[in-house]
A and B are shown apart, each in its own frame.
Chain A
Amino acid sequence: MTDTDSLYLELSSIVGEENVTSSQLDLYAYSRDASPYWLSMPGVVVRPKDTFEVSQILRLANRTRTPVVPTGARSSINGAPLPRVQGAIMLDLTRMDRLLDLDEDTMTVTVEAGLRWAELIHLLRERGFKLGFRGPYGGNAGTIGGSLSSNSVGCGSSMWGSACDSVVGLEVVLPTGEVLRTGSGWNPSSKLFTRYSSFNDLTGLFLGDHGTLGVKTKATLKIYPLPEGAAFADYGFTSIKDCSRAMYEIQKRKLAEEIVILGDRNSIDLLASTYLETFDNLECILAVIVEDVDEQVANRKREIIDSLAKQAGGRALGTFLSRAHWLDMFNLTQSLFDAGFWYNTCHLRPIQTLPDVVEAAARIFEKYRLKERGANWIISALAADRCYCTGWITIFMGPSSNKDVVEAAWQELKKIEMETGGAVPYWNGPLWEEETLRRVSAGFYEALKRIKKALDPNSILHPMVFGL
């Protein structure tokens, strides 16, 4: 597309010339996310400033049957925001990054979808509030809209669930350009304070939709007072089985803000080698973070956690790892990049099935002789809501000459993970679509197709995602 094409000119008239580009150089910059995928280049990148402009763009796209791909900061590690078709309008929503309203009466905050989690945390902290779900581990760049579109799980998920669990309501621009307010927002004179009222939960239609059903422009999220108390604890275990049991026992009692496992000696060596030098017979580490209304409550919860961890065979290792993990929020994974580009396999599974997948992963790493080749891996898990957890098993490529071998190991790992313990990915994207589309039931998929057809009759929004 050149800057004399009619579509380009119409887009320029909507958002201003300085906010639209089809220069090859710019398109390359927008052609990747934080995954290994390189799919189709966008045809044009547009940076709308508000809901009205998004609506105008979607009306234009509908009229011209032009595909549209809504994106945030593209820090995703699944390829989800990358276009699958040529010539798409990429909506870069990061310009829409304002905190619009903080409502203490209903303890909600309404933000534009392009705001980043870390910035929202900063804005809330200044005002004395916190979020439940804080953001994905890439929350420095990850946007609220991006996380809600892809069911992110991350900081705070042990207590508060996924990104989507924190939503009270959304403002969504439908593919045909109409603007919809969900939750109690069905009533134009009502505040957005509850997700469930009077009608169906339309909010849920757009959560995890990977940008296929509408463009989220605003989100209203639950907030809480800043905690006055915090407690930290690290525990060492001699087996993943005992470590998982401890996570399960703690998590089912909903005691902690975050519970995270480093799942094998290699992972401990990669992130915190001193622990292996300091403590004998250490196979796994469980790090627990508690936040509560005051120190007394937080410390009491830690006492209970301590007892549960020890009953499961854990040894107390101090508090350094859990503190560093929590106080350096969103800055953990980046330091692993120098082990080579990352191939992740993030998914959800019942906590009790962790040992099975760790064992299976070890077999794959051995089979492909990853360590001998200079590749590496990390096995970690985060308790998420009730008694399931993430399986965060990531391979780091090492030298680029490992690419083919690492990709083969990665594909096998993904397959094994889906076959072990009833796991499901939380997000999809090219990372998981082959596996999820192979497994999705006919009835579920048919319903999805009908919903897509009803809301997006010309199939302009992120075409080909979910195979639609």
Chain B
Amino acid sequence: MAGSNFSRLKSFSDLLEKCGRCGDCTYAVKVSTARKHVYKPCPVYNVLGFETYSAKGRIIILQSLLEGKIKPDDRLLEWAYLCLTCGNCKETCLAVEGGIDIPSIIEALREDLVSAGMHLEKHLEIRDKALRNYNPYGEPHDQRFSFLNVSLPKEADIVYFVGCTSAYRRQEIAKATVALLEKASVDFTILEDERCCGSTLFRLGYRDDAMKLAEHNVSMLEKTGAKTVIFSCAGCYRTFKKDYAPLEPNFQVLHVSEFLKELVDKGKLHFYASKPVRVTYHDPCHLGRHTGIYEEPRSLIRQIGNVELVEMITNRNYAHCCGAGSGVKGTFPEMAVKIAKQRIEEATLTGAEILLSTCPFCKTNLADASDGIAVLDLTEFLLQNITEEPVEAEVKAPSPEEALAETFKNYLNQHPEIFEDLVEGATMDFAIYDSIDAFENEEKPVSVFNVVRTGNGIKISNGRANAPDMEIAFSEKAVEKLVKSKSRQSYAKLFGTFYNEPTEEEWIDFQLYKRTRALINMGYGKFAEEAGVLREDEY
């Protein structure tokens, strides 16, 4: 290829060398063997069937490309774009902490190809539209918000960044978001001259062009005096949070699920379904794996009365992509729908009536593939079930399980020294189960909260953390005894006993989410020693 030495790709050479070609990225099913929700991670491989498209094959090809064995041609160009950059392979990969970063590596390759003048015709059209009309669909810029009949101030602390897909293709999501903000009496506005966030261009390798859009949007937002910018599009959110980082914008970036959760927690919004409904939730790659938001959407769903949330076999950080990402929907639409059909099948297997997501692109592709289950954005579902006042008595006596969890939280708050060997940011889910079988079969714990090591102590929050290092599972009886410990030493001794000599009633177990070596470096080894997990003694 004239004009390229693959300089961006080369910067990943050392990382490529870390691949041991174990094939986990392609084939792994870790549901029973390691209690992880990994199930054949690569959606493109799962449809096309050749390893050429999974991370293992990609790495062999990229190494061969850098060694000059493979020459770039049209086939390579097409292959470069037959990747969703969903990051499921990265999440599954254990070769380095965090996994080999295939999404960044593939984007580097695309940028190298673009720099060398190699383009897919379709992508030139998209770039042209994004730069000329300020949206990749080529729709008139002056009609971007013509569907929104709202009167908004010119300036506000909070700006809702609508995004191209909600503005031109999924207006119901923008309408629902605006309605929810109004219901909560949020003082917000929308940019008069909002332009494409650049996500598509970033993902396709047109970084320089995308940065022009980024600079415009940041400048406009800063002019409004925005303190917080919220997004109903996972793609825009990811772009602002990660791709805009070099611009160092002076506003906070929140996905609408994060923002709404805060409003719900403050009692400003209430939801209740008029009849019982079972739903499942699809994690958009850009909200989940790319930016680490898993819990907020689930928390919002769980607090809707009469709604049961059930998980698909792959969920959270191992969730399969919907198939639309990284330009695949626009470039290879048939394949995108084939991938979405597999996700729809997963959703259908849960018995849910509604498949929820938090991204207009996911909604479009999943809806295109669905021949049964309803597909809705979370904002739409929330709006459907909004109530003026709380329907269920929100103030009720805590159940015995809730009371036990509260006692445990209070105890830990009073004994932060238990966690003093951990590095700042270390995060654990504390889950209390009614039986060891419930833990081993991955059933719902009776109570779960998370503990984060902070600079000067610990912070405890309800629910699971977005990215915990591990889950510590407790039996109720074990917690009852632990909270009576008088000192860190006696807590540790008891902890070790419950772990090393578990009984049916009193036991502690772990589910590790990070590699053992990384956990040791974070201080968990010392923690385990202090807690009596590692001990030299007589049985």
Residues of A within 8 A of B (CB): 18-19, 21, 23-26, 28-34, 45, 47, 73-75, 92, 94-95, 116, 118-119, 121-122, 125-126, 134, 138-142, 233, 236, 271-275, 277-279, 295, 302-303, 306, 315-320, 323-324, 327-331, 333-335, 337-338, 340-342, 400
Contacts and interface: CB of A to CB of B under 8 A. Distances in A.
B266 interface: no
Given A316-B537, A331-B94, A25 B21 contact: no
B20 A274 contact: no
Interface in B32-75: 32-35, 49-52, 56-58, 60-61, 64, 69-70, 75
B50 A328 contact: no
A122 B20 contact: no
A114 to B, nearest CB: 10
Nearest to A342: B20
Interface of B: 17-24, 26-35, 49-52, 56-58, 60-61, 64, 69-70, 75-76, 79, 93-97, 496, 499-500, 504, 510, 512, 515-517, 520, 525-526, 528-529, 532-539
A327 B34 contact: yes
Contacts of B528: 274, 320
Contacts of A236: 536
A456 B64 CA distance: 35
A274 B57 contact: no
Contacts of A274: 520, 525-526, 528-529, 534
Nearest to A126: B32
A140 B33 contact: yes
A386 B31 CA distance: 31
Nearest to B50: A26
A34 B520 contact: no
A19 B19 CA distance: 26
Contact of A335 (B19, B51, B516, B526): B516
B353 to A, nearest CB: 24
B30 A21 contact: no
B512 A334 contact: no
Contact of B536 (A33, A141, A317): A317
B74 to A, nearest CB: 11
Contacts, number: 192
A278 B95 contact: no
A295 B505 CA distance: 13
A121 B96 contact: no
26 contacts: A21-B50, A21-B52, A24-B75, A25-B70, A25-B76, A28-B70, A29-B50, A29-B52, A33-B21, A34-B20, A34-B23, A74-B23, A141-B22, A141-B27, A274-B534, A279-B534, A318-B533, A329-B33, A330-B30, A330-B33, A333-B20, A333-B22, A334-B20, A335-B516, A337-B18, A338-B18
B436 to A, nearest CB: 10
Closest 10 pairs (CB-CB, A-B): A274-B525, A141-B23, A29-B57, A334-B94, A337-B95, A140-B28, A122-B32, A337-B20, A119-B29, A141-B27
Contacts of B70: 24-25, 28
A211 to B, nearest CB: 18
Given A32-B21, A274-B529, A45 B50 contact: yes
A116 B96 contact: no
B79 A73 contact: no
A315 B536 contact: yes
B355 to A, nearest CB: 23
Given A273-B525, A335-B517, A73 B27 contact: yes
Contacts of B516: 271-272, 324, 328, 335
A11 to B, nearest CB: 14
Nearest to A18: B49
B34 A329 contact: yes
B534 A318 contact: yes
Contacts of A45: 50
A139 to B, nearest CB: 7
A166 to B, nearest CB: 16
Given A29-B61, A73-B23, A327-B35, 18 more contacts: A28-B64, A29-B57, A34-B23, A47-B49, A74-B23, A75-B23, A92-B51, A94-B27, A119-B29, A121-B33, A140-B27, A141-B22, A302-B539, A317-B535, A318-B534, A323-B510, A334-B22, A337-B22
B60 A28 contact: yes
Nearest to A34: B21
Contacts of A324: 510, 512, 516
A140 B52 contact: no
Contact of A320 (B26, B29, B517, B533): B533
Contacts of B29: 116, 118-119, 122, 140
Contacts of B539: 233, 302-303, 306, 316
Contacts of B20: 34, 333-334, 337, 341-342
Contact of A278 (B18, B49, B52, B534): B534
A273 B58 CA distance: 34
B49 A95 contact: yes
A33 B60 CA distance: 10
A154 to B, nearest CB: 12
A306 B501 CA distance: 14
A12 to B, nearest CB: 14
Given A272-B516, A315-B536, A118 B23 contact: no
Contacts of A273: 517, 520, 525
Nearest to B28: A140
Contacts of A47: 49-50
B50 A317 contact: no
Nearest to A124: B32
A34 B50 contact: no
Contacts of A25: 52, 61, 70, 75-76, 79
Nearest to B70: A28
A69 to B, nearest CB: 15
B23 A316 contact: no
Interface centre among A233, A338, A340, A341 (most CB of B within 10 A): A338
Contact of A400 (B17, B96, B517): B17
